[in-house]
Structure 1
Amino acid sequence: MNREKLMKMAGSVRTGGKGTVRRKKKAVHKSTTTDDKKLQSTLKRIGVNTIPAIEEVNIFKDDLVIQFVNPKVQASIVANTWVITGSPQTRSNLPLFPVIILCFPGVQ
């Protein structure tokens, strides 16, 4: 066999660095559910409470607004922790300012 071809074949079956075991295929670990369970157990330990009837959450950054529509909001006042769960939309600040000013006319 050609040495270049042999090295190419040997490199394609190794999943780690030098000195690791050769495998035929890379194992895919699904850890999203375990991460979610760990997060929920940690939040339960902190003592978060669900806040009902929140239609929209806006997080303002320098030139962006991260907007959550119909999010699940949980809070722990003692731990100074807020958890916002939902699908975010990133928008520019400029289109939202007239709406915010109309909703809160006392804010300047």
Structure 2
Amino acid sequence: MNKGEKRVVMNPELLKKLQQQAGQVRIGGKGTPRRKKKVVHTTAATDDKKLQSSLKKLAVNTIPGIEEVNMIKEDGTIIHFNNPKAQASLAANTFAITGHGETREITEMLPGILSQLGPEGLTQLKRLATSVAGSAGAAVKAKEEEDEVPELVGNFEEASKEEVKVVSSKDKENVKKNSTSPVTNKAPA
């Protein structure tokens, strides 16, 4: 050792643990910065560009004047697009709907969507209505039962008469206990 150098002695278990942790956070080889996770730079814009280039190859035409699109799934939910961009290629039998889509329940869209439902959608709507009516009917029945006056279990008049009898018999007993023996008048001797 040289005169200005100091040698540091570390606990070998701690040194081994630190080396393992350092090896876990290094992504690349020697000389790369230590990072916790690998950052992958993928954006939705690249996906959109790929999709648009594929649609150009199919020679799609934009369809103007479409205000909304509703796609009804088998489970009864609806994907709703408001003011979408609709494109079609009849030769390739391809239709593309782009825009912001929201997933909604059929009950949220009910008044305006009835004309768009087919026979399958109407049967599903009937099933939904019967299930809602059944659960609502049970809830209304339960609420009516809560609002009703409970039925009388016994006759309260008889119970009150018996209570009066018990009280009066106790009073008689108390009077007997508190009363003294009959008073006799004795003449002074």
Measured against the shorter chain, the TM-score band is 0.7 to 0.9
Q: Structure 1 CA distance, aligned partners of 2:45 and 2:81?
A: 22
CA displacement at 1:38 relative to structure 2? 2.2
Query: What is the one-letter code of the residue matched to 1:12?
Result: V
SS in 2 for 1:29: coil
Amino acid at match of 2:20: M
Please state how far the C-alpha of 1:5 moved relative to its aligned partner. Answer: 1.3
In 1, Cα distance between equivalents of 2:54 and 2:85: 17
- Identify which of 46, 54, 57 aligns with 1:45: 57
User: How high is the TM-score relative to the length of structure 2?
Assistant: 0.47
Structure-1 separation of matches of 2:43 and 2:112 = 40
Map of 2:142 onto structure 1: none
Q: Is 1:59 paired with 2:67?
A: no
**Alignment correspondent of 1:33:** 45
In structure 2, relative to structure 1, the CA distance for the partners of 1:10 and 1:84 (3 Å cut) is same
**What is the CA–CA distance in structure 2 between the aligned matches of 1:95 and 1:27, rounded to whole Å?**
40
- Residue of structure 2 equivalent to 1:70: 83
The runs of 5 or more residues in structure 2 that have no matched partner are 1-13, 120-189
Residue number in structure 2 paired with 1:5: 18
Task: Describe the SS at the equivalent of 1:54.
Answer: coil
Q: Does 1:92 find its partner at 2:105?
A: yes
Could you list the per-position Cα deviations for residues 22-57 of structure 1 after superposition, in whole angstroms to 9, with x for gaps in the alignment? 532545434543332222121111010000010000
Aligned twin of 1:21: 29
Q: Extract unaligned runs of 5+ from structure 1.
A: 15-19
TM-score using structure 1 length: 0.77
DSSP-derived class of the 2:79 partner: strand
> Residues of 1 paired with 2:39 and 2:111: CA distance?
51
Amino acid at match of 2:48: D
What percentage of aligned pairs have identical amino acids?
Answer: 43
In the TM superposition, residue 91 of structure 1 has moved relative to its aligned partner by 0.4
Q: Aligned AA for 1:77? A: L
Using the TM superposition, name which of 24-33 and 68-77 deviates more. Answer: 24-33
Rounded Cα–Cα distance in structure 2 between residues aligned with 1:42 and 1:34 = 12
**How many residues are matched?**
100
